[in-house]
């Protein structure tokens, strides 16, 4: 497949909500394969179509290369645990910038696969954290928006200085 160009923060497309996928066809499979190639090249463990400027609700995760990649179409969280977990997050669109974010430790997820078949799954730990991060992106919420204003401003200033 192909490695596609990644958007870079602060591209305005990273703040736009994605539309649901309605066509489950070869174009969707090609896009998912391109996302996987792009994510691996970045490198990263998760990517959305929004990261390459395609505003469709598609997430690809590969948290363990031994288990391989997973593609989630139109994912939505139907339940969050009250228990939380702190984890260091970053983005393929803002390489080198990371900070700690607190999120629910477990979620229940509804999604479709590449054939349009609906699934429901409970996720915990790192998998749940990654999925919440990617769904935020699908909703137009870039991960740094989860930081306090002061932490966000410091991180952006440091990243922009390093990026020039």
- Residues of 78-108 as b/e, b for ≥16 C-beta within 10 angstroms? eeeeeeebebebbbbbbbebebebebbbbbe
Q: Active-site residue among 26, 82, 134, 153?
A: 134
Distance CA 142, CA 3 (A): 22
Among this protein's residues, is 122 annotated catalytic? Answer: no
Q: Is the omega angle on the peptide bond into residue 159 within 30 degrees of 0, that is, cis?
A: no
Distance CA 141, CA 139 (A): 6
Which sequence positions are flagged as catalytic? 134
């Amino acid at each position: 497949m192909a490695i596609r160009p990644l958007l870079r923060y602060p591209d305005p497309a990273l703040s736009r909500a994605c539309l649901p996928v309605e066509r489950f066809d070869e174009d969707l499979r090609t896009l998912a394969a391109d996302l996987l190639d792009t994510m691996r090249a970045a490198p990263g463990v998760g990517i959305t179509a929004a990261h390459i400027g395609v505003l469709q609700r598609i997430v690809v995760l590969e948290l363990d290369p031994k288990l391989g990649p997973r593609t989630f179409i139109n994912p939505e969280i139907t339940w969050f645990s009250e228990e939380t977990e702190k984890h260091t997050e970053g983005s393929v669109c803002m390489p080198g910038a990371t900070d700690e974010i607190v999120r629910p430790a477990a979620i229940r997820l509804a999604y479709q696969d590449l054939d349009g078949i609906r699934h429901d799954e409970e996720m915990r730990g790192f998998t749940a954290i990654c999925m919440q991060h990617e769904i935020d992106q699908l909703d137009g919420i870039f991960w740094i928006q989860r930081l306090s204003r002061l932490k966000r401003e410091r991180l952006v200033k440091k990243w922009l200085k390093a990026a020039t």
